[in-house]
Each structure stands twice: as C-alpha cells, then as structure tokens.
Amino acid sequence: ELLKRILLGEPFVMAFDTSDTGHDEFSAMAVAEASSQSTGIGVMEQDEDVFTLTFEPTAPGDYALYVFYGEGQVTGSPFALRVVTGRGEVEVESVRFGDVGDPVLISLRLADVARRDQLGITANSPEDLEPEDVVDVTLQDDDTLLAQYMPTVSGQHHFEVLWRRGQIVDGSFDVDITPARHSAAPGA
C-alpha cells in the first residue's frame, strides 16, 4: 500500500519514538523498485529514543523504505513511497460540451502529480487575452480531476491543466463551442 507521494527534490521526513523499547541501533535505507539499488537515509537522534529519518530522493519512481531498530524492522516496514516530478501527465478521459450557455464538463486522469491540492485549470475563450480560471474544480480520490466551465462565447476555447502555476506535460486541449441554439416559441 502506498504510504505517500513525495515530490522529487523535497525531503521526506519520518520520526520514531522508541522510548517504550529501550535504547538500540536505528537505521534505514530506501530501495528503488525499478533498479533494486539501495540508498542510505539520514538518521538523527533528536531526543533520547526519538529518531528522525530523512530521505532525499534523486530520481522519480517507487521506493521501499526499510526502517530497522535493533535486530529487526519497525512495524509497518517497508513503507511504500512514490517519488514524482510533480509535473506529471494528464489524460483527458471525457469532455462534454455543446452550445454557449451549456457547461463544459471535463474529467481528467492524473499520473505522477505530487500535490493535487496545487492543481488548477485555466480556460481561454476566443475573446480572452488572459486565462480565466475554471470554476468548480473537484479533486477525486481516484486520481481524477473534475471541472465545469460555462462558456459565454462561441469558438475554440483553450484549456490548460496547471500545477503550481506551470503547465503539466500534455496538459492542454481545445474545445469548440457552437453558438447557442434558440428554439422557436410555441405556436410560431
């Protein structure tokens, strides 16, 4: 089970309190699943029997974090970590759209994006010089992003998926909006 997604270039820190088990040797290592290479992890004793480990990954991928205390592993070890670049990939799962005044509904699948709370979508209508934010963006637990945008003019609208205000790889697409259809009044 994945413990945490961490961003490449940002340290991952865990603390362990061993005061109930006595004083012993504390160590840790990370093993990259793709290459089976192990990486040492910095371990510091903060207070008596309180240890902090710091893992600073140098490459994206999945890692097993092994934590040892005395002769054995701590409960839960190995811990699963996924190191991501942050600017991952986006797959447009579906876009529903129609006329001016009908909402554009966007469902995106996200891959290897570390902090989903820093995601957003911008949209440019044919008249916009600056992007405007898409409203009602909802992050789902299954790595999907759902958004709704209400177009006010017809033409090609350009959308970009952003992370920390930078465009995600393959994170832009266009949608053509048709003029609003007017229905005839009854009896006309």
Task: Answer yes or no: are the C-beta atoms of 131 and 160 closer than 8 Å.
Answer: yes
How many residues does this entry show for the chain?
Answer: 188
Mean pLDDT across the chain: 77
- Cα–chain center distance at 4: 11
Q: What is the pLDDT of residue 157?
A: 82
Judge whether residue 2 has pLDDT over 70: no
Q: What pLDDT, on a 0 to 100 scale, did the predictor assign at position 113?
A: 56
Least confident of 49-53, 97-101, 178-182: 178-182
pLDDT at 188: 47
**90 to 51, 106, 123, 125, 137: CA distances (angstroms):** 38, 12, 16, 21, 15
Provide the pLDDT confidence category of residue 91 given band limits of 50, 70 and 90.
low
Three-point CA angle 46, 52, 55, nearest 5°: 145
- Per-residue confidence band for 49, with pLDDT thresholds at 50, 70 and 90: confident
Model confidence at 4: pLDDT above 60: yes
